[in-house]
């Protein structure tokens, strides 16, 4: 870990209660997950174990994130702000970060209404899925997507196989743009297969999040 040997706790501006705010952010998506507080002991535990430990101001004790829920935060990096009075933890989050079951604690607007905190990458996949579903519900003449639905699952799977081979070939070639192009083709055809089987990308994302805690 890049922070393994950090011992200069006096460089950090802990408040009068010996605490410093710590923001947890998803290391992959950069989604802000939660805000908690650390004291010297919880920070030391985090550094030693690689799992996020915080200090509970209400219970006045140390707590390991995920100790009861299993939703651990595996810390990749710790950064401090320019005033040394706040920390940022880049983490691999297992399951939901919020005790409500939401992915992030920041899931409500000032009016209390739900806020869409979906990452940009997930939004792109969701948009693609919506376009595909719209084509199936409202067929459009000349649409390649409709052509695939008309031909059925076997045709879709054949295209997935072909595009997988194209990705392999592109990965062996020197031009990275070709690999990007072929990867996009493969993702599109996988999206059509998921739609045909009544599945959505969010289900795939959830499975990947579950796996991330075991890597």
* pLDDT tens readout for residues 33-85: 999 999 999 999 999 999 999 999 999 999 999 999 999 999 999 999 999 99
Bridge partners (DSSP) of residue 89 are: 24, 78
43 class by beta-carbon count within 10 Å (0-12 exposed, 13-18 middle, 19+ buried): buried
Does 31 or 3 have the greater pLDDT score? 31
Q: What are phi and psi of 175, to 5 degrees?
A: -85, 110
103-107, 119-123, 183-187, 200-204 — which is least confidently predicted? Answer: 119-123
For residue 115, is it within any domain?
A: no
CATH (domain of 169) = 1.10.287.1080
Give pLDDT, residue 1. Answer: 54
Does 196 or 202 have the greater pLDDT score? 196
pLDDT category, 32, cuts 50, 70, 90?
Answer: very high
For residue 197, is it within any domain?
A: yes
For residue 98, is it within any domain?
A: no
Per residue in 111-150, pLDDT (tens digit) is 888 876 666 677 788 789 889 998 998 999 999 999 999 9
- Tokens for 21? 């705010």
- Tokens for 85? 């009075």
- What contacts 24+ positions apart, CB below 8 Å, involve 182-188? 186/160, 187/125, 187/128, 188/128
Buried b (16+ CB within 10 A) or exposed e, 84-123: eebbbbbbbbbbbbeeeeebbbbeeeeeeeeeebbeeeee
CATH (domain of 16) = 3.10.20.810
| pTM, two decimal places | 0.60
Q: Are residues 69 and 125 in the same domain?
A: no
Q: What are phi and psi of 101, to 5 degrees?
A: 100, -5
For residue 102, is it within any domain?
A: no
Give pLDDT, residue 214. Answer: 45
For residue 103, is it within any domain?
A: no
For residue 2, is it within any domain?
A: no
For residue 110, is it within any domain?
A: no
How many domains is the chain built from? 2
Q: Name the nearest CA neighbour of 132 among 207, 200, 205.
A: 200
Sheet holding 87-93, edge to edge: 32-38, 20-26, 87-93, 73-80
Q: Are residues 125 and 204 in the same domain?
A: yes
Q: Range of 57's domain? A: 9-93
Per residue in 150-161, pLDDT (tens digit) is 999 999 999 999
Q: How confident is the model over 97-121, as a mean pLDDT?
A: 83
């Amino acid at each position: 870990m890049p922070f393994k040997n950090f011992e200069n706790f006096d460089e950090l501006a802990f408040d009068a209660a010996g605490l410093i705010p710590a923001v947890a952010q998803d290391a992959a998506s950069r989604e802000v997950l939660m805000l908690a507080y650390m004291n010297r002991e919880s920070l030391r535990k985090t550094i030693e174990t690689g799992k996020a430990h915080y200090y509970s101001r209400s219970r006045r004790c140390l707590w390991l994130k995920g100790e009861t829920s299993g939703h651990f935060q595996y810390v990749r990096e710790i950064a401090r702000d320019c005033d040394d009075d706040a920390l940022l933890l880049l983490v691999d989050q297992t399951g939901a970060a919020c005790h409500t079951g939401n992915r992030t604690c920041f899931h409500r607007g000032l009016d209390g209404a739900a806020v869409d905190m979906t990452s940009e990458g997930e939004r792109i996949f969701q948009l693609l899925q919506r376009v595909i579903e719209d084509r199936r519900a409202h067929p459009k003449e000349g649409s390649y997507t409709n052509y695939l639905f008309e031909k059925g699952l076997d045709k879709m799977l054949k295209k997935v196989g072909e595009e997988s081979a194209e990705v392999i070939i592109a990965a062996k070639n020197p031009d990275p743009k070709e690999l990007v192009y072929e990867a996009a083709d493969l993702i599109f055809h996988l999206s059509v297969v998921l739609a045909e089987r009544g599945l959505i990308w969010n289900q795939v994302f959830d499975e990947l999040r579950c796996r991330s805690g075991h890597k």
